[in-house]
Amino acid sequence: MNWIHIILIYLAVMNVVTFFMYGVDKWKAKRSKWRVSEAVLILMAVLGGSVGAWLGMKAWRHKTQHKKFRYGLPFILVAQIAIVIWIAYRILLK
């Protein structure tokens, strides 16, 4: 297994976990239970779960009114896509 496969598996796991974290947080919010902090939800996006975070926001209708989520998550996603494109470009030039 090469490093590209490891990165893809990592990103897949991060996005699935992040997606379900948004669902769990929404479920807990409806029941007035202990919640996942906003900092952790954003950190999960930064660590590679940005697609899962964005999909979780849409699917669970969670955190959609918070500006840091409504604008911050798309910004994180676009930044991560730009970084991937830049890295891929650098690799292809070698």
Closest CA to 29 of 65, 2, 73: 65
Banded pLDDT at 55 (limits 50, 70, 90): very high
Q: Give me the pLDDT at residue 19, please.
A: 98
Residues 63-71 have a mean pLDDT of: 91
SS3 80: helix
Q: Give me the pLDDT at residue 51, please.
A: 96
CB burial string 37-69: b at 16+ within 10 A, e below: eeeebbebbeebbbbbbbbbbeebebbeeeeeb
Its pTM stands at: 0.89
Report residue 65 CA to chain centroid gap: 17
